[in-house]
Structure 1
Amino acid sequence: LTLAAVLGLSILLTACVAGTVPTDGTASDTSGSAAAVTPAQSDGTPTTSLGNMSTVSTMVIDRGLDEVGRACIDCHKEIQPGIIHDWRESRHGHVGVSCLDCHQVDKNSPMATQHENLIGTDIYMSALVPAATCGRCHVNEVDQFNASGHFRAYRQQIPKDSLHALVFKHEGQENSEFGSAPNETGCIQCHGTEIQLDAENRPVSTTWPNSGVGNVYPDGSTGSCAVCHTRHKFSIAEARQPAACASCHLGPDHPDIEIYENSKHGQIYAIEGDEWNWDAAPDAWEPGDYRAPTCATCHMSGIGELQTTHNVSERLYWNLWAERSEVRNSSDPLSPLLGDGEAGRDMMKQVCQACHSELHTNNFFEQGDRAVNLYNVAYYDEAKKMLDELGEKGLLEENPWTDDFQLIYYHLWHHEGRRARQGALMAGPDWAHWHGFFELQQDLYELEDIYNRRMETGQID
């Protein structure tokens, strides 16, 4: 054989092994799916990844979809190929869940619009897909979500006049044209909002798009599953990893991802996480698939006798984000104390004891509970007592955001206090101490100085 022939044979064998040139002359599907998904050229003939690197716009997809379902795919693969690529790789795509299954709505739905290519048909669509739509198939998951803090993420903000004043009056500077920007680009992107529609039933830009888990939709339903299982892949593996939670649970007021990264759990994940099994079935994802827990492991996953839950609050004992932490003991669906804290602690201990001894687990929670109680009685209660006394004597400014006492008080519970409490119960020592209790004692001393000065002089300085 000549050198050129040897090189040519080598290239051909390499291509066959890589799956780009099938040895039987047919188009190959290296995705692992049994569905008929074939790269094709514009004339419909098969191509290879060597001849055409596109894996979306040249894709012919036929998974038992009806004519309209296929039309959606054929059009959107040209206009938004990223959507079709995600869908093709998703579980939905592999079992034949089409665009219509999630986006089609009843003609009388307040969200109903009609695509220009569907005018004259009885098919109405909406860009909005609330959790209730997912609940047609995922009944238990949505029922559990509806009892969680995620469900209440926006609804609990509605009565908070002080928060609305901060966002619209102070941050937005009461600007009639642009004043809603802080809310649109900040708050609603995690908490959600009440989505508003224009005259053609399309969501308006002041409320959508957003990634808020507590969105309230025009049909009255609440919640978005795509916050954790991002569209259009809707991956269980994605939702199990800390990054899925990190886009909202971060920052000075609730640094959960930073606390996790500071913990031994986060240390192990950072070193080994790319080697773990993220795709196990629900209730089958157990230690061994991973060596340290993630957010989803502790708060959601089925371990031992525990079943998987989408109620992320169910295993919590305390409410750690409130001004003062109390044990969860309410039956009110909209209460931040909804649930049974004692039962929640028992469940969380079961999670811990999948890897730790009973002694280790019990001692850990005793440490954390002491930190929460210290915050409650030594910091919050003392600060609140001073706040109330100053208020009774008219020694607080009307605007809390320009009053040193009220601003420091807010930081004491909303920033430093949360960091101390959450750091203690998520095993993040730097956040419990230096970002938590160290700064709390500084806050308290400053509050005491301002309080004493105002009480002595009878004036706001």
Structure 2
Amino acid sequence: MRLLLAVIVAVGMVAPAFALDSGIKTLKVERGLTPDAQKCVECHADKQPGIVADWAASRHGHVGVSCIDCHSVDKSSPMAAQNCPGVKGTELYVTVMVTPATCGRCHANEVGQFGRSGHHRGSLQYNVKEGLNFKGMSDLIEKHEAQGIEKYKRAPEMAGCMQCHGSKITLGADKRPTKEGWPAAGIGTIWPDGTVGNCVACHTRHRFNIAEARKPAACASCHLGPDHPDIEIYENSKHGHIYNAEGASWNFNSAPDAWEPGDYRAPTCAVCHMSGIGGLTTTHNISERLKWNLWLPESKIRNSPDPLNPLTGDGAEGRKKMMAVCANCHSSLHTENFFQQADLNVELYNEGYFQPAEAMRKELADKKLLKANPWDDEFQRTYYYLWHHEGRRMRQGAVMNGPDYAHWHGVFELQQDIYKLKSIYNKRLKTGTIEE
């Protein structure tokens, strides 16, 4: 017996109904969709039923937003094609890619806010020559990780970097995206139409569920690991402890700007960084409530309106907004003392660890006592771990209340790094040579 999927499309509502059938999987569409839209749904229900099932259960499906509304493009678009049998020979042009330009037709505020955030920079910083670290990342990926083998020079990026940061999508002769950039769910994807961003990084297609995006798992697929273990830090915190104990019973479906304490007992990532709470409105600018940049080699207070600048945001205002989030559950004394503790840890990292390490690195560089290959140089590798791994963990653990990451995975390992750097530095200055 195979499953018969019947989706009845009424005006303003889609009601799925299921029944068993002895033969072919079919889909029935009634009212509310154009004939072209009906064809799309019926065809894909047979070929990719999971897609149609997600769409039928989505808000888009409920209000009659169809495949055509999101996937059709103007004939002049660089992505325009008729490689789908259902539109071949018609006046319709479609693309598998749905860019922020399409989402922005209905969600203009959200797309605009995203464009002012650090997420906007995700792929641009390493995928274009004007990016923040184009050469450094290109060298790491192509020369070192791919070992300079031409055939594999993009392999580390395709399986790794672009799945979180985003890709620069290129098209083949058939107007379909090539493997060098697709598939990718990276947040800062650069599309052939020139737009940047990827809503499905958090609101996965074709359900686009707001509840899914509000849960920590939406952020955890990228914000984890040795360099930015944010989900681990969250779970180490009291907020994460409460979520793990009872989060399955919380209400994640309230409307934007109506999702407030009471729906949940402790914040998720979205509550602190994005959601409407108290006097704050919902924002898709994840940099808006931040004081420091915590991932650069040296932390500085945010002071730039440019999303391509690592210091994008207004640090003083960002701290006020984050404290306004905390005020919904905590006293002012609790919140003020917490952030003073966190700031001292950030400043300790800057003054006690990064600045001395950078001074030693510069002097060794001036005296030609660093290897050309930084990944084959004990000093440069340790220097990198000091800021990119242990240093980030120390700072982010302190600011997000993850004590094990602020201390044992953070400053405890940093003090070992700095002593190691000093030992190598002193030995090279004394001998005038680089040890083998």
| TM-score relative to the length of structure 1 | 0.89
1:206 Cα offset (Å): 1.2
Q: Return the letter of the residue paired with 2:296.
A: A
1:377 maps to which residue?
Answer: 351
Please give the secondary structure, in 2, of the residue aligned with 1:273.
Answer: helix
Residues 176 and 347 of structure 1: CA distance in aligned 2, closer, same or farther (over 3 Å): same
- Distance (whole Å) between structure 2 residues aligned to residue 30 and residue 117 of structure 1: 21
- Distance (whole Å) between structure 2 residues aligned to residue 32 and residue 270 of structure 1: 39
Residues 63 and 169 of structure 1: CA distance in aligned 2, closer, same or farther (over 3 Å): farther
Please give the secondary structure, in 1, of the residue aligned with 2:28.
Answer: strand
> Deviation digits for residues 55-92 of structure 1, max 9, x if unmatched?
x9444233511001000000000110000000000000
- Distance (whole Å) between structure 2 residues aligned to residue 109 and residue 38 of structure 1: 34
1:130 Cα offset (Å): 1.3
> Deviation digits for residues 245-289 of structure 1, max 9, x if unmatched?
000000000000000000000000001001000000000000000
Name the larger-Rg structure. 1
- Distance (whole Å) between structure 1 residues aligned to residue 305 and residue 363 of structure 2: 33
Aligned identity (percent) is 57
- Distance (whole Å) between structure 2 residues aligned to residue 33 and residue 106 of structure 1: 26
1:121 Cα offset (Å): 1.3
Residues 31 and 321 of structure 1: CA distance in aligned 2, closer, same or farther (over 3 Å): farther
**Which of 93, 103, 116 is the equivalent residue of 1:147?**
116
1:373 Cα offset (Å): 0.1
- Distance (whole Å) between structure 2 residues aligned to residue 394 and residue 71 of structure 1: 68
Q: Return the letter of the residue paired with 2:342.
A: G
* Count of residues in Structure 1 that have an aligned counterpart in Structure 2: 425
1:247 aligns with 2:256: no
* Structure 1: stretches of 5+ with no match in the other structure: 1-26, 40-47
Please give the secondary structure, in 2, of the residue aligned with 1:460.
Answer: coil
- Distance (whole Å) between structure 2 residues aligned to residue 63 and residue 167 of structure 1: 52
1:136 aligns with 2:110: no
1:228 aligns with 2:202: yes
The root-mean-square deviation of aligned C-alpha atoms, in Å, is 2.0
- Distance (whole Å) between structure 1 residues aligned to residue 265 and residue 80 of structure 2: 47
1:233 Cα offset (Å): 0.1
**Which of 34, 59, 62 is the equivalent residue of 2:30?**
62
1:357 maps to which residue?
Answer: 331
1:213-224 correspondence runs (5 A):
213-224=187-198
The answer to whether the Cα contact below 8 Å between 1:242 and 1:295 also exists between their aligned partners in 2 is yes
Q: Return the letter of the residue paired with 1:298.
A: C
1:162 Cα offset (Å): 1.5
1:33 Cα offset (Å): 11
Of 315-324 and 28-37, deviating more is: 28-37
**Which of 355, 364, 367 is the equivalent residue of 1:393?**
367
Residues 279 and 332 of structure 1: CA distance in aligned 2, closer, same or farther (over 3 Å): same
1:83 aligns with 2:51: yes
1:443 aligns with 2:411: no
The answer to whether the Cα contact below 8 Å between 2:223 and 2:229 also exists between their aligned partners in 1 is yes
**Which of 57, 70, 77 is the equivalent residue of 1:109?**
77
1:304 aligns with 2:278: yes
The answer to whether the Cα contact below 8 Å between 2:305 and 2:312 also exists between their aligned partners in 1 is yes
Q: Return the letter of the residue paired with 1:145.
A: F
The answer to whether the Cα contact below 8 Å between 1:38 and 1:59 also exists between their aligned partners in 2 is no
- Distance (whole Å) between structure 1 residues aligned to residue 349 and residue 366 of structure 2: 24
**Which of 118, 124, 132 is the equivalent residue of 2:93?**
124
Q: Return the letter of the residue paired with 2:58.
A: S
> Deviation digits for residues 26-65 of structure 1, max 9, x if unmatched?
x9999999846464xxxxxxxx64x4599x9444233511
1:198 maps to which residue?
Answer: 172
Residues 36 and 183 of structure 1: CA distance in aligned 2, closer, same or farther (over 3 Å): closer
1:98 aligns with 2:72: no
Q: Return the letter of the residue paired with 2:403.
A: P
1:156 Cα offset (Å): 1.8
1:178 Cα offset (Å): 2.1
The answer to whether the Cα contact below 8 Å between 1:63 and 1:96 also exists between their aligned partners in 2 is no
The answer to whether the Cα contact below 8 Å between 2:14 and 2:64 also exists between their aligned partners in 1 is no
- Distance (whole Å) between structure 1 residues aligned to residue 312 and residue 33 of structure 2: 43
1:339 Cα offset (Å): 1.5
2:427 maps to which residue?
Answer: 453
- Distance (whole Å) between structure 2 residues aligned to residue 174 and residue 188 of structure 1: 19
1:433 aligns with 2:401: no
Please give the secondary structure, in 2, of the residue aligned with 1:188.
Answer: helix
Q: Return the letter of the residue paired with 1:197.
A: L
1:348 maps to which residue?
Answer: 322
- Distance (whole Å) between structure 1 residues aligned to residue 10 and residue 220 of structure 2: 31
The answer to whether the Cα contact below 8 Å between 1:36 and 1:63 also exists between their aligned partners in 2 is no
Q: Return the letter of the residue paired with 1:146.
A: G
The answer to whether the Cα contact below 8 Å between 1:317 and 1:328 also exists between their aligned partners in 2 is yes
The answer to whether the Cα contact below 8 Å between 2:39 and 2:86 also exists between their aligned partners in 1 is no
**Which of 244, 260, 270 is the equivalent residue of 1:270?**
244
Q: Return the letter of the residue paired with 1:167.
A: I
The answer to whether the Cα contact below 8 Å between 1:37 and 1:61 also exists between their aligned partners in 2 is no
- Distance (whole Å) between structure 1 residues aligned to residue 406 and residue 94 of structure 2: 49
Of 175-184 and 420-429, deviating more is: 175-184
Residues 57 and 261 of structure 1: CA distance in aligned 2, closer, same or farther (over 3 Å): farther
1:363 Cα offset (Å): 0.4
- Distance (whole Å) between structure 2 residues aligned to residue 283 and residue 438 of structure 1: 41
2:157 maps to which residue?
Answer: 183
The answer to whether the Cα contact below 8 Å between 2:163 and 2:185 also exists between their aligned partners in 1 is yes
Please give the secondary structure, in 2, of the residue aligned with 1:112.
Answer: coil
2:255 maps to which residue?
Answer: 281
- Distance (whole Å) between structure 2 residues aligned to residue 34 and residue 193 of structure 1: 36
The answer to whether the Cα contact below 8 Å between 1:57 and 1:81 also exists between their aligned partners in 2 is no
- Distance (whole Å) between structure 2 residues aligned to residue 254 and residue 80 of structure 1: 36
> Deviation digits for residues 130-181 of structure 1, max 9, x if unmatched?
1221000001010000000111111122432112111111111111212211
Q: Return the letter of the residue paired with 2:119.
A: H
Please give the secondary structure, in 1, of the residue aligned with 2:265.
Answer: coil
1:323 Cα offset (Å): 0.6
Residues 31 and 376 of structure 1: CA distance in aligned 2, closer, same or farther (over 3 Å): farther
* Structure 2: stretches of 5+ with no match in the other structure: none
1:258 aligns with 2:232: yes
